[in-house]
């Protein structure tokens, strides 16, 4: 994947490797993906923050353990951190471990552009492109529109695959 690509608008999108300095930002991205779900609870803001912190730490540990060779990137939009993209490139597949954008960066074509680049990479290498998606995640519509198909139902998640 290239380090700098133009989004459909005039935005400049770059990927850079995650550093230790990104911990607070990565937590903020994660927490933003849980806001709607947590709004349905009657928890205090402190309880929501504690829950998010626990889940974020568990997810980070799980990703590092199960995808040790993955590239963890911060997505930058016009020089400002806007999201995260974690990808592991295996012998037979390219696995999107996680792609998430801050709310203010969603809907601007950034995710579509990055997914299309990964699709081009997968097609060029003869590999499948896969991702686990929660069934209620609004991004599921995007994956279906781009030609991903569900290949396994894992309860809350679907394993989606795209092939050239």
pLDDT 10s digits, 25-71: 999 999 999 998 898 999 999 999 999 999 999 999 999 999 999 99
Specify the pLDDT at position 2.
44
DSSP 7: -
User: Domain 4-162 in CATH: superfamily?
Assistant: Gcn5-related N-acetyltransferase (GNAT) (3.40.630.30)
The count of other CB atoms within 10 Å of the CB of residue 66 is 11
CA-to-CA distance for 136 and 156, rounded, in angstroms? 8
Six-digit token string for 37: 């779900």
CA-to-CA distance for 54 and 59, rounded, in angstroms? 9
Strands across the sheet with 149-154, in order?
A: 4-6, 12-17, 71-77, 80-89, 93-101, 128-134, 157-162, 149-154
* Residue 51, φ and ψ in degrees, nearest 5: -60, -50
Specify the pLDDT at position 50.
95
**117 CB-contact burial (10 Å; exposed 0-12 / middle 13-18 / buried 19+):** middle
* Residue 144, φ and ψ in degrees, nearest 5: -65, -40
User: Do the Cβ atoms of 1 and 117 come closer than 8 Å?
Assistant: yes
**Is the pTM here over 0.75, yes or no?**
yes
CA atoms within 13 A on the CB side of 106: 11
Domain layout of the chain by residue ranges? 4-162
Specify the pLDDT at position 9.
58
Average pLDDT over residues 116-136: 96
């Amino acid at each position: 994947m290239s380090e700098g690509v133009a989004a459909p608008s005039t935005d400049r999108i770059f990927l850079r490797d995650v550093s230790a300095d990104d911990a607070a930002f990565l937590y903020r991205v994660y927490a933003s993906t849980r806001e709607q779900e947590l709004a349905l609870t009657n928890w205090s803001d402190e309880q929501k923050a504690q829950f998010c912190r626990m889940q974020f730490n568990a997810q980070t540990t799980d990703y590092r353990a199960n995808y040790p060779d993955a590239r963890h990137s911060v997505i930058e939009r016009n020089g400002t951190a806007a999201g995260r993209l974690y990808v592991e490139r295996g012998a037979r597949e390219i696995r999107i471990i996680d792609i998430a954008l801050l709310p203010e960066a969603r809907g601007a074509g950034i995710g579509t552009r990055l997914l299309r680049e990964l699709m081009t990479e997968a097609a060029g290498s003869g590999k499948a492109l896969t991702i686990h998606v929660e069934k209620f995640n609004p991004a599921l519509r995007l994956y279906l529109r781009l030609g991903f198909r569900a290949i396994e139902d894992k309860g809350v998640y679907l394993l989606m695959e795209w092939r050239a």
